[in-house]
Amino acid sequence: MSHAHTHDHHEHGHSHAPEVSTQNERVVLTALVLTAGYMLVEVAGGLLSGSLALLADAGHMLTDAAALALAWAGFRIGRRAADARRTFGYMRMEVLAGLINALTLFALVAWILFEAIQRLRHPVEVLSGPMLVVAVIGLLVNIAVFAILHRGDRDHVNIRGAMLHVIGDMLGSVAAIAAAVTIRITGWMPIDPILSVLICLLILRAAWALLRSTFHILMEGAPPDIDIERLQAHLLEQVPGVAHVQHVHVWSITSGRVLATLELGLDAGTDQRQVVPAVKQALADRFGIGHTTVEVLFDPPRACALRAAAGPETEG
Ligand SMILES: [Zn+2]
Ligand SMILES: [Zn+2]
Ligand SMILES: [Zn+2]
């Protein structure tokens, strides 16, 4: 399994991390090469034909290529263990790359929208022939990528997501073909900037989701599906001997790699050698937290230093 974090606390053996096979890695790499190659074709075709829609879609392909590159790097870097200097390994690279990708996309969308407005006011001649050729190539590339992904591990969350995405891309290619045919038959040029604006909306949606999730991880936010109060209640109910749970911090190194620290108070006469592993196991099973650090308190709990620094004394 893909856990880059190789030191041997037993709780690291959780199994919901996707299986990394060389098959998946090859599938992703092939899709990446095809996508990036088509992106270059689209840039060339866009410049040659004057089609803004093709350039906008090249931007969209840039996102797709970046996402595939990240998935591929995730497979490769995931194998690279943490070392003494980077005790969390290299998993955050993925998050930083995602943030840069999102910001790049916003800049790209701004440029396309600006250009589209210009062109709606002063239509630019688009050569429908090259545009049609490139759009048809795009449809073929998307069909090929879909077929390749289909051969990969379809239970893998990234591969399934990528397949759904490629279906959307096929529809985009069909729209581009329709626009090229429209220009060919009617000579109605505004269809090109209009289509580019529609592509921008798709890019914006992806960019916004990416920005939000990377920003949240960089803010050390708890994963959206983990509620701290429910986590505390779960431990109190499920682990015998736990008297109270406080000072809980939960965060992700990268999407799906969750860590926690917390303090426990125990019932009198409880053996911490049993409770501490039970707490770690309960968090791994119920919340998918693969790495928990537990401190057992024998004195009354004190406020979390992070909260106390920010305002009045409250119990973390
Ligand atoms: Zn796409
Ligand atoms: Zn560890
Ligand atoms: Zn704290």
pLDDT tens-place string over residues 29-88:
888 898 899 899 989 998 988 888 888 888 888 888 887 887 777 667 766 777 888 888
The 10s digit of each residue's pLDDT in 161-177 is 667 677 777 877 888 88
Cα 267 to averaged position of ligand 1 atoms, centre (Å): 55
Cα 309 to averaged position of ligand 2 atoms, centre (Å): 27
What's the CA gap between 3 and 282, in Å, rounded?
19
* Pair of tokens at residue 213: 């999730």
Cα 251 to averaged position of ligand 2 atoms, centre (Å): 14
Token look-up 């931007």 returns: 59
Per-residue DSSP letter, 17: S
Q: Which of the two residues, 142 and 304, has the higher pLDDT score? A: 142
Cα 156 to averaged position of ligand 1 atoms, centre (Å): 18
| Closest ligand to residue 141's CA | 1
What's the CA gap between 47 and 24, in Å, rounded?
35
Residue 137's Cβ-side half-sphere holds a number of Cα atoms within 13 Å equal to 20
pLDDT at 211 over 90: no
Cα 163 to averaged position of ligand 1 atoms, centre (Å): 10
- The contacts found for 214-220 with CB under 8 angstroms, 24 or more apart, are 214/95, 214/96, 214/98, 214/99, 214/102, 215/99, 217/95, 217/251, 217/252, 217/254, 217/255, 218/95, 218/99, 220/249, 220/251
Cα 275 to averaged position of ligand 3 atoms, centre (Å): 21
pTM over 0.75: no
Mean pLDDT of the chain: 81
| Closest ligand to residue 290's CA | 2
pLDDT at 16 over 60: no
| pLDDT-based confidence at residue 159 (cuts at 50, 70, 90) | low
Q: Which of the two residues, 141 and 70, has the higher pLDDT score? A: 141
Cα 248 to averaged position of ligand 3 atoms, centre (Å): 7
> What DSSP letter does each residue of 62-86 carry, written as one string?
HHHHHHHHHHHHHHHHTTSPP-SS-
| Closest ligand to residue 35's CA | 1
pLDDT at 10 over 70: no
pLDDT at 14 over 60: no
Task: State residue 173's pLDDT score.
Answer: 83
**Is 138:183 a contact under the CB 8 Å cutoff?**
no
CA 230 to chain centre: 25
Task: State residue 94's pLDDT score.
Answer: 74
Task: State residue 15's pLDDT score.
Answer: 37
Q: Residue 48 — left, alpha, or beta (φ > 0 → left; ψ -120 to 50 → alpha)? A: alpha
For 217, 221, 307, the CA distances from 310, given in Å and listed in that order, are 21, 17, 5
Task: For residues 296-308, give the mean pLDDT.
Answer: 77
pLDDT at 196 over 90: no
Report which of 36, 42, 44, 30 is spatially closest to residue 63, judged by C-alpha positions: 36
| Closest ligand to residue 261's CA | 3
Report which of 242, 202, 206, 252 is spatially closest to residue 94, judged by C-alpha positions: 252
Q: Which of the two residues, 276 and 4, has the higher pLDDT score? A: 276
Cα 97 to averaged position of ligand 1 atoms, centre (Å): 18
| Closest ligand to residue 166's CA | 1
Task: State residue 158's pLDDT score.
Answer: 57
Cα 25 to averaged position of ligand 1 atoms, centre (Å): 19
Task: State residue 309's pLDDT score.
Answer: 58
Cα 292 to averaged position of ligand 2 atoms, centre (Å): 8
Cα 260 to averaged position of ligand 3 atoms, centre (Å): 11
The 10s digit of each residue's pLDDT in 83-135 is 888 888 877 877 887 788 788 888 888 888 888 898 888 888 888 888 889 88
Q: Helical H runs in the chain?
A: 22-49, 52-77, 92-121, 128-151, 157-186, 191-218, 228-238, 272-287, 305-310
Task: For residues 257-279, give the mean pLDDT.
Answer: 93
| Closest ligand to residue 89's CA | 2
Residue 312: helix, strand or coil by DSSP? coil
What's the CA gap between 307 and 315, in Å, rounded?
8
Task: State residue 205's pLDDT score.
Answer: 83
| Closest ligand to residue 228's CA | 3
